[in-house]
Amino acid sequence: MEIKVVKQILEWNEDCSNEIKKDLKEKKVCLINVLGSPGAGKTSLIMKLIEKLREEYRIGVIEGDIAGQIDAEKIDRLGLPVVQLQTDGACHIEAMSIQHILPMFQLEDLDVLFVENIGNLVCPAEFNIGENFRIAMLSVPEGDDKVEKYPLMFATSEALVIHKADMLPYFEFDRNRVKEKATDINPHLTVFEVSSRTEEGLDAFLAWLIERINKELQ
């Protein structure tokens, strides 16, 4: 008898992620996966980026959370298309969820789709969700040892935003240690120090992001 073989979830996820990539490439939408701990400032940075980019790009957002719709309400108040994904306990977003959600957007009216992943330094890094690229965030109050403790997120991202840079004077946070360790793990990583609150470092990050998005939308 022929034995039925079911592929492991990660492999299945990878197939689904590749389908999303193909679909979004055809529709000219750049999907950006934003990763970081709870409280790293993912929503705050996305909102700041929306403020700066919305005249140039048509933006949508998928907000991932275990429960509630607090972050989606914030985006909704900005008047942008947003879907709240509730994972009901799961610590990461899978490609299948994104594939299910995409038809809820008018994709032909979008250039950029931000996905705020579940606040977690571990699991979200293991699952591709059809993204064009990832942005990893590490905020200053979290400590400068996180790259060494949770390497995968930093290894798989194209940019690292050291966030809440306005807090650097108040914490023992060795930014050089973070930069060195992160670029040791991932030589292709570009590191920025940004504060969404004071906007310090924001221009440099925006310049990188715009170039990166434009490359994908070509």
Ligand X SMILES: Nc1nc2c(ncn2[C@@H]2O[C@H](COP(=O)(O)OP(=O)(O)O)[C@@H](O)[C@H]2O)c(=O)[nH]1
Among 134, 164, 181, 212, binds ligand X (CB under 6 A): 164
Q: Answer with the entry of Mg ion, ligand X, none that 101 interacts with (C-beta below 5 to 8 A by kind).
A: none
Alpha carbon dihedral 184, 190, 193, 195, in 10-degree steps, equals -130
Q: Answer with the entry of ligand X, Mg ion, none that 68 interacts with (C-beta below 5 to 8 A by kind).
A: none
| 143-182 residues near Mg ion, rule: CB under 5 A | none
Q: Which is nearer to ligand X, 103 or 169 (CB)?
A: 169
119 is an interface residue for ligand X by CB under 6 A: yes
The full length of the chain comes to: 218
Nearest distance in Å: CB 62, Mg ion: 12
Among 13, 43, 117, 132, binds ligand X (CB under 6 A): 43
Q: Which is nearer to Mg ion, 43 or 139 (CB)?
A: 43
If you ran DSSP here, which 8-state letter would residue 195 be given?
A: -
- Build a one-symbol-per-residue string for 14-53: x at contacts with Mg ion by CB under 5 A, - elsewhere: ----------------------------xx----------
Helix axis angle, 70-77 to 42-53, nearest 10°: 20
Among 28, 39, 51, 184, binds ligand X (CB under 6 A): 39
Please state, in angstroms and rounded to a whole number, the distance separating the CA atoms of residues 119 and 39: 7
- Residue showing tokens 């594939």: 99
- Residue showing tokens 């959370």: 65
User: Binding residues for Mg ion, how many (CB under 5 A)?
Assistant: 3
Strand partners, 61: 82, 114
Q: Which is nearer to Mg ion, 43 or 128 (CB)?
A: 43
* 82-86 β-sheet, strand order: 82-86, 59-65, 112-116, 30-36, 133-139, 159-163, 190-194
E-assigned strand segments in 87-196: 112-116, 133-139, 159-163, 190-194
Q: Which stretch binds ligand X (CB under 6 A): 36-44, 79-87, 150-158, 174-182?
A: 36-44
SS3 57: coil
Interface with ligand X (CB under 6 A): 36, 38-44, 119, 163-164, 166-167, 195-197
Interface with Mg ion (CB under 5 A): 42-43, 71
